Structure 1
């Protein structure tokens, strides 16, 4: 279903704006009017993360407990021994074996990319296979069921776990996703059937393919976002390419049969990113010095080892009480840092130098605000808390290279 104007279906919670250029596709995600994600992908070249390959071991390094695997890319992929053992910790040997006991040069195996190559390093791969669907993540050999911790109701978590245990075979593993909250068992079973079929196709291709070769490409950037966060009742997808809009509608019809997707074909004369203010916002959000709405500012420095964010009061004078002024600036900074980390797709170690606070209550309030502001982030992250030097320390999983703005016409 296509629309030239938005359907009246209540307030739009998320707006996905997609610009389809000559050689690239760019995507911006707005939540409640705020830009929270940006990504770009070459039209003819998708990222490797999530894709499956039939690879060949070219070198085994005992001292690193790792192997290098040729998957047909410019650089060989890196396979660590922990990614070679059984995915269920309870089924791993008590004494970790030497990798030379498990792999030899020339050995062929199916691997899945879990991390893009960065700099001089090749991609990182695993044999802990996972195929994400709308409602669950299918792990063909994991042997357990887990439920997303973001589902707060223990009763609902138990219901979903029971459904997962009833549907899986003994060797299969399932992670029930946050999207599955209140979903029926039939919908979950349909998702499982689809993912099982996809895995069987990968196995069949591996049986006949000559290594190194591609067995399965992950979904495109736009399709992944639709799968993970799109809700037809509250969200809107706006695209400036009729062909891509039709592909998106076909994909949604397969993923959410019976639903009426809210897809808008953008037809105005001005570029789509200009019309929605995306270009201007990106230019501000990727600067080294970033102003906060209240007058404070952030200084954002990224090194190979970590990202350091410095918070300053700037023009914000606040109230008569200095401690309150500092606290309000830090609260605003915490909310903005969570948005910018997600937007820039910053990964690795992140250190935030908030303005010094004397009140433990205020420190706890800033930490709580930061944790709540990160709840919408789908990338695995862990907020460790305050160091002895009064710095805020956190980590975020680095899957792809950090975003660089390349907005095209």
Structure 2
């Protein structure tokens, strides 16, 4: 089947899956409310200089300041390179800075003043007069041609790295790519001169466009997208950078979710599991701590056919293949310790290590195998570029005080939307009643019911949401589906004329004179209740809508 790129961009999240022979090998995420910032260029202001760490923290207008080490400052003459950071920077100084690493856990983003702009065929370096050619291009004559071309076209104060995909491309195509990047650099330079820190000067491409730029090559057989807007944008971009690939772009137009059609949803769920079974019957377990990731190999149900050592070697070889796959799929970085089953023969050890090295060589993220320790453990490192999948999709469990993990609220909201779409597609009904935890209900409904209104408009269905505080945060129950009138009677927790005892939780966001209370996740706007926050009041319901009710205060209890 070859290689395919499958894009799911329905709702609040964009997911890109890379498949090889219809099996998932890489999954990437981008959410509307937390877009990636790597590659963005900001005009920042130095806030702190730390001589002891030879680094500084720069305010670029993000939630956390950007960490910059002295070696990432630019420009530095030979004389300046010997200076300490406190001699080069001072608080209040403005810097043009590019994000190189996302925020990870408690750590803020990392940045550099050595700016670069990646294109389709070349990377433009603004800080050094240098020419480089990708090591993945092995043809000596082609390397020579590309190096000579790069030397001929590189500006005197810039540098170029020729990317792998540039191999055998015409001089005109590569020059065209460079000219496009030089135009972007001119815009960045002008924007920085006309801005005051902190300010975003240049925003990198979104996830889909990055995939087109970096991954959509002749090796990809199909590029499939499930929204017309993204389909046309990708067509337009490919028409500009690689017109011959345009025929490989497809629009998926079917009510069944695209990730279900390609069986990707099930594979994503498996990425959150601790145990991964091997085809032979053995299994590996993956445990991640703050310091490192530990991978343990076990024979499990596999007992072999001949002798114990052959059973062990076969299990370890299959585990080596699976481990390399899981590291890439889960985007695990940092220090990794692998505990293979003990092997007596050094030849068997070398054989397993070689399988691991060969498989990791296919991983574009830099890895380094340090070898076996005295305890027989394999030590390796993998560059940490993003949050691992578990960190992205999950959050610390509030039910077990952080000893385990559950799905994050944003992930549950997105799953609930997918479940609504699936049920309405299968049942062909007009309306649906959903029961979720109040936190999830609030996010699905949104401020003033805007999120729910947007979802109903997109699906052209009536959706009712009921909050249940006793429900597990991850649980999404479909209570009923049918006609709008039938579902509405079951869905609304109050009627006009009802008298209720409620606690005023907060002031109304837009009408500060009013207060807000909640009944099983259902919002009740208490008229003139803004001054009663944290007090209990007896109210009478005067208006009922799908997402909220209004009530008048009859009596203040305390």
Q: Determine whether 1:27 maps to 2:11.
A: no
* Structure 1 range deviating more: 265-274 or 251-260: 251-260
CA shift for structure 1 position 94: 8.8
Q: In structure 1, what is the equivalent of residue 312 of structure 2?
A: 326
Q: Determine whether 1:203 maps to 2:189.
A: yes
Three-state SS of the structure 2 residue aligned to 1:194 is helix
Q: Determine whether 1:360 maps to 2:346.
A: yes
Q: Distance in 2 between matches of 1:264 and 1:95?
A: 51
- Is the contact made by 1:86 and 1:92 (CA closer than 8 Å) also made in structure 2? no
- Find the partner of 1:61 among 38, 50, 56: 50
Q: Distance in 2 between matches of 1:175 and 1:152?
A: 15
Q: Distance in 2 between matches of 1:250 and 1:313?
A: 51
Q: In structure 1, what is the equivalent of residue 293 of structure 2?
A: 307
Superimposed CA distance per residue, residues 327-360 of structure 1 (whole angstroms, 9 cap, x where no aligned partner)? 1111111111111111111111111111122222
Superimposed CA distance per residue, residues 149-205 of structure 1 (whole angstroms, 9 cap, x where no aligned partner)? 222233332332222212212321222212122222222211111111111111111
Structure 2 matches for 1:226-241, cutoff 5 A? 226-231=212-217, 234-241=220-227
Q: Determine whether 1:73 maps to 2:62.
A: yes
Over the aligned positions, Cα root-mean-square deviation in angstroms equals 1.9
Q: Determine whether 1:245 maps to 2:231.
A: yes
- Is the contact made by 2:284 and 2:298 (CA closer than 8 Å) also made in structure 1? yes
Structure 2 matches for 1:388-407, cutoff 5 A? 388-404=374-390, 405=393, 406=411
- Structure 1's unaligned 5+ residue stretches are 1-11
Q: Distance in 2 between matches of 1:24 and 1:160?
A: 39
Q: In structure 2, what is the equivalent of residue 105 of structure 1?
A: 91
Three-state SS of the structure 2 residue aligned to 1:352 is strand
CA shift for structure 1 position 125: 0.6
Q: Determine whether 1:130 maps to 2:136.
A: no
Three-state SS of the structure 1 residue aligned to 2:389 is coil
Q: Distance in 2 between matches of 1:201 and 1:398?
A: 31
- Is the contact made by 1:137 and 1:177 (CA closer than 8 Å) also made in structure 2? yes
CA shift for structure 1 position 43: 2.8
Q: Determine whether 1:285 maps to 2:268.
A: no
Superimposed CA distance per residue, residues 281-322 of structure 1 (whole angstroms, 9 cap, x where no aligned partner)? 111232101111221111101111111111111112233122
- Is the contact made by 1:232 and 1:261 (CA closer than 8 Å) also made in structure 2? no
Q: Determine whether 1:96 maps to 2:82.
A: yes
CA shift for structure 1 position 394: 1.5
Q: Distance in 2 between matches of 1:387 and 1:50?
A: 37
Three-state SS of the structure 1 residue aligned to 2:182 is helix
- Is the contact made by 1:49 and 1:399 (CA closer than 8 Å) also made in structure 2? no
Three-state SS of the structure 1 residue aligned to 2:246 is coil
Superimposed CA distance per residue, residues 349-395 of structure 1 (whole angstroms, 9 cap, x where no aligned partner)? 11111112222222222222222212332222222222232211221
Superimposed CA distance per residue, residues 200-258 of structure 1 (whole angstroms, 9 cap, x where no aligned partner)? 11111100011101011111112112211212574211111111111111121122145
Q: Distance in 2 between matches of 1:347 and 1:199?
A: 32
CA shift for structure 1 position 92: 4.4
Structure number with larger C-alpha Rg: 2
Indicate how the Cα distance of structure 1 residues 352 and 335 shifts in structure 2: closer, same or farther if over 3 A, else same. same
- Is the contact made by 1:57 and 1:108 (CA closer than 8 Å) also made in structure 2? yes
Three-state SS of the structure 2 residue aligned to 1:260 is helix
Structure 2 matches for 1:156-171, cutoff 5 A? 156-171=142-157
* Count of residues paired in the alignment: 395
Indicate how the Cα distance of structure 1 residues 246 and 181 shifts in structure 2: closer, same or farther if over 3 A, else same. same
Q: Distance in 1 between matches of 2:83 and 2:262?
A: 55
Q: Determine whether 1:336 maps to 2:322.
A: yes
The higher relative CO (CA closer than 8 Å, separation ≥ 6) is in 1
CA shift for structure 1 position 279: 0.9
Q: In structure 2, what is the equivalent of residue 268 of structure 1?
A: 254
CA shift for structure 1 position 54: 0.4
Three-state SS of the structure 2 residue aligned to 1:58 is strand
Q: Distance in 2 between matches of 1:236 and 1:259?
A: 9
- Is the contact made by 1:137 and 1:174 (CA closer than 8 Å) also made in structure 2? yes
CA shift for structure 1 position 110: 0.3
Q: In structure 1, what is the equivalent of residue 41 of structure 2?
A: 52
Runs of 4+ in 1 over 3 A off after TM superposition: 91-95, 404-408
Q: In structure 2, what is the equivalent of residue 43 of structure 1?
A: 32
